[in-house]
Chains A and B, each alone.
Chain A
Amino acid sequence: MKDTWQYKTFKIFNTVILMLIVIVTLFPFFNIVAQSFSSEAYINSGQVTFWPKGFNIETYKVIMSDNMFWVNYKNTVIYTVVGTIISLVLSTMIAYPLAKKRLKGRNFLTMFFVFTMFFNGGLIPNYVLVTSLGFGDSIWAIVIPNAISVFNMLIMRTFFANIPEELEEAAIMDGSNTFGILFKIILPLSKPILATMMLFYAVTHWNSWFPAFIYFTEKELFPVSIYLRNMIKGAEASVGTGATSADNLVQISANIKSVTMVLTVLPILLVYPYIQKYFVSGVMLGSVKG
C-alpha cells in the first residue's frame, strides 16, 4: 500500500525532529570535548561549539601532572572495583535463593528486600549510622551502605529462575551441594547476566559522589567526582563575585573543567558500546517480571 502524502510529510518531519534530538543530546558533550582542546581566548569569546579552536593540549598536560588528580582518579578506580565486587557477591547471595520457588518464606523475604526500595531511613539516620560505625573517611562508607540495588537483584533473580531445574538435579545426583551447584553450574551459565550486573554496578560506583561528599574530609581519599565537583562549584563561586579582575581565572577554569570532565567520563565512553548492548537487554529482562 502506498503512503499518503500526509504520511510522507510526517516522515520527513519525523527524521528532522529526531536529528534535532540527537544534536541537542550530543551537543553538550561535544562542546566540552571541543573546549578541552581549545585555547582560553576562544572559549571566553564563546566561539567554541562543535570543534576545537586554537588547538591546545597544554591543559591536559597540566591536569595530568597534578598529583592530586591522579590520587583521586586512582581512588575512584579502587572504590569502583571493590564496590562492584561487594555488590555483585551480595546480590548473587540474595538472588539465587530467592529464585528457588520451593524456598519457604520466599515471598516474605522478597518483600523484606523490596520494601527498602520504597521506604528508607532517610539521609540523617543513615549518616548517624555510618559515622557511628566508624566508617567516616574510609572506603567502607561508600562501598557498603548502598551495596545492593534491589532492582538489579530482581533482574538477577528472574535470570536464575529461568535456568532449567533439571541441570541442578543432575548435579545433586553427582553429590554436589548448593555451593557446588552455584559455582559449577549456575554461575558459568549466568555469564551474560553477571556481565550486565557488573556494568550496572561499576557505572553506579564510578559516577557516585554524594557519599564521599558527606563522609570524607581528607583530600587524599576523594574520588575524582569530588575533585571535579569542587572545581565546578569553586569556579561558579568566582563567577558569582562578578569581579572583572577574576575573569582570567574563570577562563582558565572553563578549560580546566572541560579537561577534567572529559577525563572523568572517558572510562564510561570506553565501555559504552558494551554498556549499550548489555544494559538494554538487562532492563528488558527486568521488565519481564516488572
Chain B
Amino acid sequence: MEEIGKKTDSKLTNANISRNRRFNTFKKDWQLYALISLPIIYLIIFKYVPMFGNIIAFRRFIPGGSIIGEEWVGFYYFKMFLSDPAFYNVFANTLILAFLLLIITFPAPIIFALLLNEVKNHIFKRFVQTASYLPHFFSIVVVAGMVFEMVALNGPINGLLEFFGSERINFIQMPEWFRTIFVSVELWQGLGWGAILYLAALTGINEELYEAARIDGANRWKQTLHITIPGIMPTIVVLLILNIGNFLQIGFEKVLLLYNPLTYETADVIATYVYRIGLESGSFSYGTAIGLFESIVGLILVFGANYLSRRITDNSLW
C-alpha cells in the first residue's frame, strides 16, 4: 500500500497528494479499528473475563456473594477432586468415550467419502450426499428424542431383536449399552457431514495421475492406495489434529440428554459431572476446579497435536 503510494507520488511529484494519501490511509484504518473495537470489547467480556473467572477454582465461592469468591483457599478444590473416586470414574468414562469416538467416528467419514468417490452416477451420488447431511442439522434435542424412540422397548430395534428370536432389551437404562448408543448416534449424525472436506479434497486430485496409473496397469484398488489416499492425506492430518485437540470435548449436551441416573456408571463424563456438581448442587468452586483441569488438558492436547504434526508431516493449523 505504502509502496504504491510512493510510486505514484514520484510520478506526480506532488507532496500535497502524498500527504493527503497518507492521511486518508490513516483515517481509513482508524475506522477499521473503530469497527473492530466493539467485538473486541465483547470478546473480552464474554470470553476472556470467564477465563479469569476460573480464579474461583482457587477461592471459596458462595452463590450470591462476590463473583470472584470470598477468600483464597489455594489448591484445596484440586486436592478435593484428586481424592474423589467419582472424579476418577468420570475421567475414565471421558477417556474411553473419547477413544471410541476417535477410532470409530474419525475414520468412518473417510471410508464413506472413498466409497462415494467410486460412484460414477451423479444423480445417485447427489442423492446419497443429500440424505447423509440431513441429521447434522437436527437439533440434538430432536436427535435424543429419536434415539429414545429407536431403542424404546416397543421400538424398531427391539422389534428387530424379537424378529431374530432375541429378548427385548431396555437399552436406555442399561449402563453397558450407553457407549454403543452414544457412538452410534455420533456416527449417524456426523458421517455424511464429516465426509464433505474429504470429498472436496478428492475432486482436487489431478485426473492425469489416474490416467498414468492406468497405463501402467494399476487396477482401481492400487489407484486408491497410491493416488487417492495420498491425495487426501493433508486433509486427514489437519482434521486429525483438530480431533485430537477436541479429544476431551465429547458432545456434552448430548450426554446430558441421553443419560440418566441408571447409566451414570458409564455415561457420566467430566463435563456432565461439572454441570451436576456446579449448577445442580451449587458447589461452584469445586466444579470450576474440575472444569479448569479439563480445559488445560484440552489446551495441551491442541498444542501438542499441532506441534507433533508440524514436526512429522509439515501440516499444521498454525
Contacts and interface: CB of A to CB of B under 8 A. Distances in A.
A287 B200 contact: yes
B146 A28 contact: yes
Contact of A25 (B56, B192, B274): B192
Interface string A29-72: 10110010000000111100100000000000000000000000
Nearest to A101: B1
Most buried by A among B32, B135, B196, B279: B32
Contacts of B302: 118
Contacts of A44: 154
Contact of B47 (A94, A104, A116, A276): A116
B35 A97 contact: yes
Interface stretch (B83-91, B99-107, B291-299): B291-299
Contacts of B152: 239, 254
B131 interface: yes
A31 B150 contact: yes
Given A257-B145, A268-B137, A4 B36 contact: no
A69 B261 CA distance: 28
Nearest to B67: A132
B139 A127 contact: no
Given A121-B50, A203-B137, 18 more contacts: A14-B118, A17-B115, A31-B146, A31-B150, A46-B159, A100-B32, A118-B245, A119-B51, A121-B51, A124-B279, A124-B291, A148-B39, A209-B140, A225-B141, A232-B144, A258-B149, A276-B130, A284-B197
- A-B complex: 9 closest residue pairs judged by Cβ atoms: A121-B50, A125-B53, A178-B31, A207-B139, A122-B291, A125-B50, A97-B32, A28-B146, A97-B36
A133 B150 CA distance: 42
Contacts of A31: 146, 149-150, 156
Interface of B: 1, 24, 27-29, 31-33, 35-36, 38-40, 42-43, 45-54, 56, 61, 67, 112, 115-116, 118-119, 124, 127-128, 130-135, 137-142, 144-150, 152-156, 158-159, 172-173, 188, 191-192, 196-197, 200, 214, 219-221, 235, 238, 245, 253, 256-257, 260, 262, 271, 274-275, 278-279, 284, 287-288, 291-292, 294-295, 298-299, 302, 317
Interface string A169-203: 00010000111001000000000000000000001
Contacts of B287: 123-124
Interface residues of A, number: 97
B149 A94 contact: no
A96 B257 CA distance: 38
Contacts of B119: 14-15, 18
Interface of A: 1, 3-4, 6-7, 10-11, 14-15, 17-18, 21-22, 24-29, 31-32, 35, 43-46, 49, 90, 93-94, 96-98, 100, 102-104, 109, 112-113, 116, 118-129, 132, 144-145, 147-148, 172, 177-179, 182, 203, 206-210, 214, 225, 228-229, 232-233, 235-237, 239-240, 254, 257-258, 260-261, 264-265, 268, 272, 275-276, 279-280, 283-284, 287, 290
A127 B298 contact: no
B262 A123 contact: no
A125 B56 contact: yes
Most buried by A among B33, B46, B127: B46
Contact of A207 (B43, B140, B275): B140
The secondary-structure label for the interface of chain A is: helix
A283 B253 contact: no
B192 to A, nearest CB: 7
B238 A290 contact: yes
Contacts of A4: 219-220
A118 B305 CA distance: 13
A143 B2 CA distance: 41
Contacts of A235: 148
B196 A178 contact: no
Contacts of A239: 152-153
A127 B279 contact: yes
A26 B131 contact: yes
